[in-house]
Chains A and B, each alone.
Chain A
Amino acid sequence: MDSVYKEYESELPPQIIEEVKKHVEKNVSKPRLKKIMEEVYREYKQTIADPGESVGLVCAESIGEPGTQMTLNTFHFAGVSEMNVTTGLPRLIEILDGRKEISTKMTEIHLKKPWSGGKDITKIAKSIKETTFEEHINSIDIDMVELTMVIKLNEDTDIAPEQLVKILSKSVRAFTFKLDKENNIVVRPSSKDASLNSLYTLKEKIKTVWVSGIKGITQVLPVKKGDNFIIMTAGSNLKEIAKLEFVDLYNTTTNDIFELERTFGIEAARQGIINEIQKVIKTQGIEIDIRHIMLVSDTMCMSGSVLGINRYGIVKEKPSVLARASFETPIKQIIEASLIGESDYLNSVIENVMINQPVPVGTGIPTLIAKISKSKGDLK
């Protein structure tokens, strides 16, 4: 049995052989298995792209054409107000352009065993959410004569006032913070020559001082997905989330490709691009073969860091001057090429279209190799 499989080991990917092993009956006869493997091999060969197939262009057409049918929309996340996520064409463009700052960052936090069952789920979720002072403050009153400020705290805050004073004194210099009898924070400038203006700037600054949770996570939403609870968040900060004890890091993802690259590496980013594109496509009810998406993702990650499909990204990497010039900012390309005396070997498609020569795809690839003897009479 194994000898049959062994024969194909160098011809077929191991995954396919494993799959055959799994699905073939246990007591299959050897000639029968041989026939099966032959058929599998034939089928496999058929799916491989032919030499000279313009996979890149077919990929571009296959994504571009359904892209024209996509509607521009953002959809609202059920349950949470004001948590709308960009999807559709804007999101697709965002992914493919390789934007550093995406419009709506989101993470999907998966949890480890006891918590994934729903243990303390709301408490955990709340602890992740970033809070600033603004959420703990009722009002700020400024005494213009005394040059002091009284911060009235919210009564239902679950963080102790003493704790808040500690955080404030840590992050704000040149002022002293003290609690009064009614649990209000009294602010006094440390030096005597403080101005009223500085108090006003302080007032705005205090509102944005971080208090608790993970920086960047602006909203949290515990959701039941299948049997397990997960936490969806608006905003993303994988580095900090990874430190939490209840997080199952193997399944936790973000929609920020660059953050994936930073925290998990380029392979994760590659998979992230594929997943994110598929997510967009699925919501639009369009089907694009995953191999096209994989090719795009591979191209974007080929250099070791994520590059967008634009003139600052993968087009910049093209070796041909003419190819770069044919895609946006031609003058800049020509000037830069002429300054260093670049050579163009006319190896890809667009240059050959420009000079009207056969393009090196499909029928343009095979060429005639002939030895032409210089001595007379050889011809004929």
Chain B
Amino acid sequence: MLRDITLGQYYNTSSPLHDMDPRTKILGVIFYMVVLFMASSVWEYALAALFTAFVIKLSRVPISFITRGLKPLVMIMGFTLALNLLMTSTGNELFHWWIFRVTDDGVALAVKMAVRLVLLVMGTSLLTLTTSPIALTGGIERLLSPLSRIGVPSHEIAMMMSIALRFIPTIMEETDKIIKAQTSRGADFESGNLIQRVKAMIPILVPLFAGAFRRADELAVAMECRCYNGGAGRTSLRELRFRRIDAMALIVGVVLLAAMIGLKILAAGGIA
């Protein structure tokens, strides 16, 4: 189950998308989301879907890997689908059952919402699939850095993200070990009512937090020993370089946005 969540995972390969500057990709995703939420007609959706397919192809991430990421979202999608299907009252009635009325408008809306969600998840997960965590944090830091003038701690945010990413596997391993150790002491995490189960978590949570604090403490000393002093005057081994491919990607993004607006104007003209 945990392994099905591809959101946030990095797929290591080389592709034009992998080579892009993380800043471009972050901006691209923001663009993409705007476009998706603007879409309303079938043609607009078709354009967005075509674009998504093109980018997936470009990323060289196997489609099966991306669709696997949709699995945990089936519940949410089913829910929105049902909601849209049953709660839309405009349009021609197709059939009704008990207090519910299903209309053609409702069906259209439900399908659109489902497509929008699928595209949204597939498109945004491409950001993390093609960008290593460290490049991602670097990109976020740079994008936020103009904001540090108005007091946003952009370096600290990026450093925190990077350390969190570094320690997630270590803490996961530790959690596994603590659970096993307490199981070996006869702890029972599976039976009893809700309160008993919450109480049963204490032997796991206390050592876990104590361990996290201990690690944080040691890490802080180790960082100080290596002359860490916040973001001021820092250089970086990683190079963020805005290249031709990034310029091209941004142009494509603008074109896509323009096309979307164009389609909207066309549709408006059609109605009038």
A and B bound?
no
Seen from chain B, the residues whose Cβ lies within 8 Å of a Cβ on chain A are none
